[in-house]
Homo-oligomer: A and B are copies of this chain.
Amino acid sequence: MVIPEAKEGKAEIWYTEYHTDDLKLSLRVKRFLHTELSRFQRIDVFESHEFGVTLALDSRIQTTERDEFCYHEMLVHPAMMTHPNPERVLIIGGGDGGAAREVLKHPTVKRVVQVELDERVVEVSKKYMPFLSASFSDPRHQLVIGDGFDYLENVTSEFDVVIVDSTDPIGEAKKLFTSEFYSGVKDSLREGGIAVGQAETPFLYPTITKGLYEVVKQVFSNVKLYLTFVPSYQSGMWSFVMGSDGKLEVDRATLEARYRERGLQTKFYNPGVHLGLSELPNFLKSLLGLE
């Protein structure tokens, strides 16, 4: 139910997220849709005036209706477009369905396996965020409820692209930022396969970004970090790390041809942005030891 204006006085209802102990972002709430404590985390869904339907897990905004495209498109397409023919894709996490939606835009894809720990995130997303979760009904998509780390133990040379759409490295998600995990990811890749993981905000949490970059660099022959804008996320500056034993560099003409051939429809991603957001500011190059 939409919260009506009071007849007298002024009171507003706000969702406030602490980005650090000293910095917080607040969204005015239009209506509360859902809250629960699942086996793994607190799941909140509310509609905010500025960002529309908003999903938060353990007090971190994961997805908003208004800016999820900035995140999901940039999580998925750089790796998918770098691969010449991604047929089989593994998504670890991403229970809201946004990553799967973007993967399934590529007509090369024959099969997507998604391993999500918390079934409740999927159920809640299906109910409140159909714009993200519709892809769960695509016949190419297979949902596995379980631990991504464990799942990888029994998988070898299976996937062309592995996408790690994790929450922050706290609690269960912590192990998704380790070299043990990325070694498993690497084993699950076919030749020329590419892994990508979300790497947090290098502005507010540079040690996390650098840590994941070092992990991926250690496991794969080639590594690449790139940025995107996500206004509802901490600092608005977000990063991703790609790793592969194949090459990660791809030229503009190739990207443009693939974008056309695959008939992609995107609101954020395009080949120019792919290349452009791989150009890192000096402070980030210094952080990563790239100069």
Indicate whether A32 reaches chain B with its CB closer than 8 angstroms: no
How many chain copies? 2
Contact A237 B231 (CB under 8 A): yes
A16 to nearest B CB, angstroms?
8
Complexed CA–CA distance, A199 and B229 (Å): 17
- Which of A1-9, A187-195, A273-281 interfaces with chain B? A273-281
In the complex, the chain B residue whose C-beta lies closest to that of A51 is B23
- Which of A148-156, A242-250, A261-269 interfaces with chain B? A261-269
Report the interface size for chain A: residues with CB under 8 A from the other chain: 43
Complexed CA–CA distance, A24 and B231 (Å): 12
Indicate whether A272 reaches chain B with its CB closer than 8 angstroms: yes
Contact B231 A204 (CB under 8 A): yes
Residues of B within 8 A of A237 (CB): 229, 231, 236
Indicate whether A235 reaches chain B with its CB closer than 8 angstroms: yes
Name A268's contact: one of B69, B276, B282 (CB within 8 Å): B282
16 A–B contact pairs at CB < 8 A? Answer: A21-B49, A22-B28, A22-B50, A23-B51, A24-B25, A67-B203, A69-B283, A227-B229, A229-B229, A235-B236, A268-B282, A268-B283, A272-B279, A273-B280, A276-B277, A277-B279
What 5 pairs across the A-B complex have the smallest Cβ distances? A236-B236, A276-B279, A276-B276, A272-B279, A22-B49
Residues of A within 8 A of B (CB): 14, 16, 20-28, 48-51, 67, 69-70, 203-204, 227, 229, 231, 235-237, 266-270, 272-273, 275-283, 285
